[in-house]
Structure 1
Amino acid sequence: MVRKDPDVPTCFARGAQAAATLALMMACGPLQAATDPTDDIHTLQRERVSASALPITAAAASQHVTVLERAELDALQGLSVADILARQAGVVVDRGAGSGGYGALYLRGADPSHVAVLIDHVRQNDPLSSRGSAVDLNTLSSDDIERIEIVRGNVSAVHAEAIAGLIHIFTRRATPGASVGFGAGGDGLRSARASWSGAALRASATQREEEGEGGARNRVRAANLGWDRVLGDRVLLHAAARYSDSANLGFPDDSGGDAYAAIRSLESRHSRSRQLSLRGEYRPHAGGTVDAQLLALAREGEDDTPGVAPGLRDPFGLPPMRSVGDYRRDEAQLNWLLPASERLMLTVGAQYRRERGDLDSRIDFGGFVLPAGFALRRATASAYAEARWQTGAWTAQGGLRYEHPDRGDAATHPMVSLQRALGGDRGEWGLSLARSSKLPSFYALAHPLVGNPALKPERALHRELYYATVADAPWRLRLTLFDARYRDLIDFDAGPPPQLVNRASIRTQGVEWRAGRRFDNDWRLDFEGSWMRVTTPGDDDTRLRFRPRAQWSAQLGLPAGERRELSLALRHLGRRYDSSIPTGERALDAVTTLDLSLRQQWGAAQLLLAIDNLGDARGEETIGTDMPGRRLRVTLHWTLQ
């Protein structure tokens, strides 16, 4: 059966030296005023990644990290967040925005709920979801993104719930002035965005729409407001607010999509999200950095599904249901980066998180309507520490997070890594080991029909080994071997009574690679890919959904004249399994697509012409829902100083 799943700047050196340089720049000395007094701080923030509580670059992290900067994202203008992430090796998204469905992300074969998704440091995971606190990518805006970090592997020593990886999305940090942009394309694609930035204040707004088969559609709007201020020479304040609104129409999960769904009415999903953040950085005269932040997230959602007719996999089908959810989360965090020496860096921190979730559902069984609502509160106090020690060619790092929820057992998340520079031009190698756990979602604990208040946290153990060349090697290469084991996973037991239980286990083993070269004529060639094997110990008949063995991409960037660039991207997504009620289990064929884009800059204007899936390759996102065919995208962007 198929289980249903509820380029670093040249001023920095490679490896541990890069991390030490970055930490010393952050920990020592006052803030330096410039034309924009926050320029140097923003530069540091761009270089450090979210793989550690300590300042670290993507090149120096023990995890396999992909960073999509503004230049790369400019070539993807008009695509949804789901489309952008699905183009990265090792990342699978089951449903794109055009399907109007729930876009769940699978990273390294883990469940979607095991990946933490952040926007400007605010975690988006929703424990009211029946998918176990997973994030619906099709509710996120894409045209206001400055940078995306993809951290593969365990990050839970610093980020709660990131037991399989982390996606961190940063919204645009506009240069002083204003800009506007518009986009259009096939499949009803329409987008618009506008932004303005002054010396300290910035604002932006975006809207994107896309259509799919059978009347499916997706619409996402977002507005951002930010403020930065330097007080004296040692204090920097950041404040940000964001509002987003999404509306989706699509065939329900497991319905068989446009091809097989017997009930032709579409599921409607509407969500509204508001987030606020206030962050402060203080540099004492004694050295180091004290970083404090207050975060708040509020999300309301309304789902109305027509149900799924009985079929091959389920003789009863799924009844119509309407749900209204309200989720709130407040967080306070304090982090102290202690004065750094040439060999040792240390940070300690504490976090307090308070959550509240209310879900009101009505299930229509034809003759009667059954209420199935719940309300739950949870508060979690955490403390963590990380240290990095360097001597000669060796670098050792360790971290520990302790979590104590008021509902459930306390847990510790230890992590240790060891790296060694081989000297000369031979590169470096490293290995890491991390253990973590994730609290059950509110839905799993409290749903009156299938919830189980006795559920234990899900557990994970990650082991990794990597080799990387030096940054200035003719061919840059990073090769990672990984082994991850997940235990006590929450799965559905048909009963009687039907209930969610801790019983599933998953083991994923594989290899990830990234290689690239910039030629003397400024041509750029990059390869990225993954191969993995996912097994379920003790249950050889279980095949998990959306876990392809092979996935890879190749991209070629060609300067084609003055301020003009041509890009070609070849992507392969391997064979994977899915299941639906009308069809039962079925394999989805592998698909290989070629994308073409041309960017031209004229003064303050930039034009992008792109053809997605140039060869019009055919494949399915899920059973009965086709992947988009050949599509033209056009975007035009003006910068107004």
Structure 2
Amino acid sequence: MNNRTSIFLAAVLLPKLCFAQTESAIETVVVTGSYAPLPVSTLTSSVAILDQSTLQALNKSNIADVLKTITGLSVEEQGGAGGLTAVSIRGGEANFTLVLVDGVPQNDPTNSRGGSYDFANLDPTSVERIEVVRGPQSAVYGSDGLAGVINVITRRGQEKHRQQLRAEWGQDDFQNLQLGASGSIGDFQYAIDMAHRDAGEQTEGSTRETDSANLRLGWQLTDSQQLQASYRYLDGKRSSYPEQSGGPEFALSDKLDKSDFKDETFALAWQLELSEHWHSTLRGDSFVHEETYTSPGIEPFFAVPPNSADTEFQRDQLQWVNTLQFGDNYQLNLGADYRHEDGESRGILDLGFIQLPTDFQLDRNTTGIFGDIHARLLPALIVQASVRYDDPSDFSSETTFKLGSKYQLNQAIALSANWGEAFKLPSFFALGHALVGNPDLKPETVRSWDIGLEWLAAPDLNMSATYFFNDYRDLVDFDSEQFINVNRSRVESNGGELHIDWQVNRTLGLQARATYTDLDVKDATTVLLGRPQWLAGVTGRWQLAADWSTALDYQWVGEQYASSLHTGESVIEELHDYHRLDWNLHFRLSPSIALDLAVDNLLDEQYQTAVGFVAVGRTARLAITASNIF
């Protein structure tokens, strides 16, 4: 069940845990990174949460900008809205980040990026909260999640009926239209969101247009049983200059990459309270991704020849979790799951005089069994341990562990420590691509640890600091001499994270953050792209009056490396550091009508996130939200 455990199960279990102790702590429940929901104050792992009030106050235009406000996360944007947007955690590859939407994995192993997820397809207006768990998570999720997990949770039904219509317009033809409704009828809860989003053309050649629908249902069958179901649909198209082409500034051709894509996600869960101390959840989910992609390649000298591909991928999962409560201080989770993945790609590489097929078709099955325990061994000591055994087809079995502890030194200071390991099966693209695939690849692995300090310096001032270390091995890389994917890289990443929350007074709140990451590629002279050594930022939220509020978000991104092929050869360039300031003003005209005026990149900073792709300058957006008007 993992993070997919429902609020129903949280409501049943959490009152029995004596870890939290205040009503507010019980309400702050994390459903990511464990097999059952837990109060955030009892977690040993390094966790970040963005709730709906924060998302609404920031009013970012896309999920990527939202994630930039989270310590330890680095966002790589490849040329405007139509380019790919990837997120790495603590210096890991972007495909080491497991991405969930309402608990269902979204990573597609048929893509050429090792399965990394394109966050540009998510719309922040339909999101209720985002949970991020840093560190390896294979002991909970199996393959993937070497660096951590990002769980995007959409809106769910509440007791009161609620309708919302939101229309947003911005410069360069940006528009976002969203219609939603939620509520409950007796023992039945519902939430539905539909949206149309057009990013316009704020960067030359870069466009993205999507239509989406999201449905979540819950039914309390009896006092001890509940059904939950969800369905998500996404259909879209995008265009951009080819990755590493030099973009609008340097590309020798104005021909664009183009892609049409579709996602469908379905999940169904049955939750049963067998006794006061035994709760069981049976869950199945399915994720389908289809994409048609064409690229003109990169000039000159056929640096990258024209190519195209039609891909289809489906992942089906079934999981059974049993949660056992022993007294007030011990919670044990035991269960098993089964995963089937099937991917197919039909494509060509056009060399002019001949078209080479790049087709592949692969499937694999993985059976897993797992257990974890969450225990208060002493009044001030919490321990969490997880173990998981995975048996994937065509690969050796893997057993992974995760161990964490948290010690409350006094009322103000808590210390934490975590150790874990994880593995990632090679992507279907890396294994099966007709030209560069290698069926003999081994899984990528990591061993990791971190130590943390939380300090409640004052009732309204909270600070946390974490040091982390990751040792990645057998990383998949392309060998240009053999023209094949190989296991060869070993990378160590270590660094620190600092986070400060300060409620200055009743109307003003400040948040400061900083991340330092040092990357060491062993036995190689290569540099890692798109991962700055330093990241920092400050966010301020000010309630000006009862109906007026404003938010400012400042970001500083240090130097980072990027590559380009626009000269005909691979060139590594260091991109300059940059500063960015975003502003939002919220005004409630009436109980049912609200306005938001946002200015992105308020200072009109000129910077690049990829060679030749100049970031969007100062842009304004206006949104009107009507709630409960029917």
Q: Aligned with 1:158: secondary structure?
A: helix
CA–CA separation in structure 1 for the residues paired with 2:224 and 2:293: 48
Structure 1 residues 151-182: Cα deviation after superposition (integer angstroms, max 9, x where no partner): 22112211231110111011122541321001
Q: Where does 1:386-397 land on structure 2 (aligned, <5 Å)? A: 386-390=372-376, 391-397=378-384
The equivalent residue for 2:578 is 591
The equivalent residue for 1:203 is 192
Residues 376 and 446 in structure 1, CA contact (< 8 A), matched pair in contact too: yes
The equivalent residue for 1:630 is 618
Q: Where does 1:432-581 land on structure 2 (aligned, <5 Å)? A: 432-470=418-456, 473-496=459-482, 498-539=483-524, 541-581=525-565
CA–CA separation in structure 2 for the residues paired with 1:547 and 1:194: 37
Of 73, 77, 84, the residue aligned with 1:102 is: 84
Give the counterpart letter for 1:412 in structure 2: T
CA–CA separation in structure 1 for the residues paired with 2:45 and 2:214: 31
Structure 1 residues 307-347: Cα deviation after superposition (integer angstroms, max 9, x where no partner): 0113xxxx640111110001011000111110232222111
Query: Is 1:412 aligned to 2:399, yes or no?
Result: yes
Residue 212 of structure 1 deviates from its aligned partner by: 3.1
Query: Mean Cα displacement is larger for which, 342-351 or 441-450?
Result: 342-351
| TM-score, normalisation: structure 1 | 0.90
Residues 78 and 191 in structure 1, CA contact (< 8 A), matched pair in contact too: no
Residues 171 and 202 in structure 2, CA contact (< 8 A), matched pair in contact too: no
Residues 261 and 291 in structure 2, CA contact (< 8 A), matched pair in contact too: yes
Residue 197 of structure 1 deviates from its aligned partner by: 2.3
CA–CA separation in structure 1 for the residues paired with 2:297 and 2:623: 38
The equivalent residue for 1:254 is 244
CA–CA separation in structure 2 for the residues paired with 1:237 and 1:256: 51
Give the counterpart letter for 1:572 in structure 2: W
| TM-score, normalisation: structure 2 | 0.92
Unaligned runs of 5+ in 1: 1-21, 31-42
Residue 520 of structure 1 deviates from its aligned partner by: 3.0
Of 336, 339, 345, the residue aligned with 2:331 is: 345
Residue 638 of structure 1 deviates from its aligned partner by: 1.0
Of 267, 271, 291, the residue aligned with 2:281 is: 291
Query: Is 1:145 aligned to 2:165, yes or no?
Result: no
CA–CA separation in structure 1 for the residues paired with 2:601 and 2:388: 44
Residue 367 of structure 1 deviates from its aligned partner by: 1.1
Change (3 A) 1:45 1:293: farther
Q: Aligned with 1:258: secondary structure?
A: helix
The equivalent residue for 2:217 is 227
The equivalent residue for 1:12 is none
Residues 28 and 40 in structure 2, CA contact (< 8 A), matched pair in contact too: no
CA–CA separation in structure 2 for the residues paired with 1:444 and 1:109: 21
The equivalent residue for 1:164 is 147
Change (3 A) 1:336 1:83: same
The equivalent residue for 1:60 is 42
Structure 1 residues 450-486: Cα deviation after superposition (integer angstroms, max 9, x where no partner): 1010100000011100000249633201110000110
Residue 354 of structure 1 deviates from its aligned partner by: 0.3
Change (3 A) 1:170 1:356: same
The equivalent residue for 1:173 is 156
Residue-pair matches, total = 601
Q: Aligned with 2:145: secondary structure?
A: coil
CA–CA separation in structure 2 for the residues paired with 1:186 and 1:174: 34
The equivalent residue for 1:190 is 175
The equivalent residue for 2:22 is none
CA–CA separation in structure 2 for the residues paired with 1:228 and 1:346: 26
Change (3 A) 1:367 1:437: same
The equivalent residue for 1:398 is 385
Residue 218 of structure 1 deviates from its aligned partner by: 1.0
Change (3 A) 1:23 1:275: closer
CA–CA separation in structure 2 for the residues paired with 1:109 and 1:201: 39
Residues 394 and 419 in structure 1, CA contact (< 8 A), matched pair in contact too: yes
Of 355, 358, 364, the residue aligned with 2:341 is: 355
Q: Aligned with 2:123: secondary structure?
A: coil
Residue 213 of structure 1 deviates from its aligned partner by: 2.6
More strand by share: 2
CA–CA separation in structure 1 for the residues paired with 2:81 and 2:468: 33
CA–CA separation in structure 1 for the residues paired with 2:437 and 2:251: 28
Unaligned runs of 5+ in 2: 1-7, 17-24
The equivalent residue for 1:15 is none
CA–CA separation in structure 2 for the residues paired with 1:261 and 1:45: 52
Q: Aligned with 1:383: secondary structure?
A: strand
Change (3 A) 1:351 1:465: same
CA–CA separation in structure 2 for the residues paired with 1:363 and 1:45: 54
Residues 99 and 217 in structure 1, CA contact (< 8 A), matched pair in contact too: yes
CA–CA separation in structure 2 for the residues paired with 1:597 and 1:424: 36
Q: Aligned with 1:253: secondary structure?
A: coil
Residue 82 of structure 1 deviates from its aligned partner by: 2.1
Q: Aligned with 2:85: secondary structure?
A: coil
Identity %: 27
Q: Aligned with 1:536: secondary structure?
A: strand
The equivalent residue for 1:608 is 596
CA–CA separation in structure 2 for the residues paired with 1:367 and 1:374: 23
Query: Is 1:119 aligned to 2:104, yes or no?
Result: no
CA–CA separation in structure 2 for the residues paired with 1:408 and 1:506: 23
Measured on the aligned residues, the alpha-carbon RMSD in Å equals 2.0
Of 265, 268, 273, the residue aligned with 1:278 is: 268
CA–CA separation in structure 2 for the residues paired with 1:193 and 1:301: 24
CA–CA separation in structure 2 for the residues paired with 1:92 and 1:45: 29
Change (3 A) 1:273 1:593: same
Residues 174 and 195 in structure 1, CA contact (< 8 A), matched pair in contact too: no
Q: Aligned with 1:157: secondary structure?
A: helix
Residues 254 and 579 in structure 1, CA contact (< 8 A), matched pair in contact too: yes
Structure 1 residues 97-133: Cα deviation after superposition (integer angstroms, max 9, x where no partner): 8341111212211111100001111100000011111
Residue 23 of structure 1 deviates from its aligned partner by: 8.8
Residues 141 and 221 in structure 1, CA contact (< 8 A), matched pair in contact too: no
Give the counterpart letter for 2:228 in structure 1: H
Change (3 A) 1:45 1:449: farther
Residue 78 of structure 1 deviates from its aligned partner by: 5.6
The equivalent residue for 1:424 is 411
The equivalent residue for 1:325 is 311
Residue 29 of structure 1 deviates from its aligned partner by: 8.7
Residues 80 and 97 in structure 1, CA contact (< 8 A), matched pair in contact too: no
The equivalent residue for 1:4 is none
Give the counterpart letter for 1:565 in structure 2: S
Change (3 A) 1:80 1:627: same
Query: Mean Cα displacement is larger for which, 333-342 or 233-242?
Result: 333-342
Structure 1 residues 532-559: Cα deviation after superposition (integer angstroms, max 9, x where no partner): 10111122x2211011111011011111
Residue 56 of structure 1 deviates from its aligned partner by: 2.1
CA–CA separation in structure 2 for the residues paired with 1:159 and 1:135: 16
Query: Mean Cα displacement is larger for which, 577-586 or 458-467?
Result: 577-586
Query: Mean Cα displacement is larger for which, 104-113 or 206-215?
Result: 206-215
Residue 431 of structure 1 deviates from its aligned partner by: 0.7
The equivalent residue for 1:89 is 71
Structure 1 residues 576-605: Cα deviation after superposition (integer angstroms, max 9, x where no partner): 000101251101110111111111122112
Residues 51 and 61 in structure 1, CA contact (< 8 A), matched pair in contact too: no
Q: Aligned with 1:230: secondary structure?
A: strand
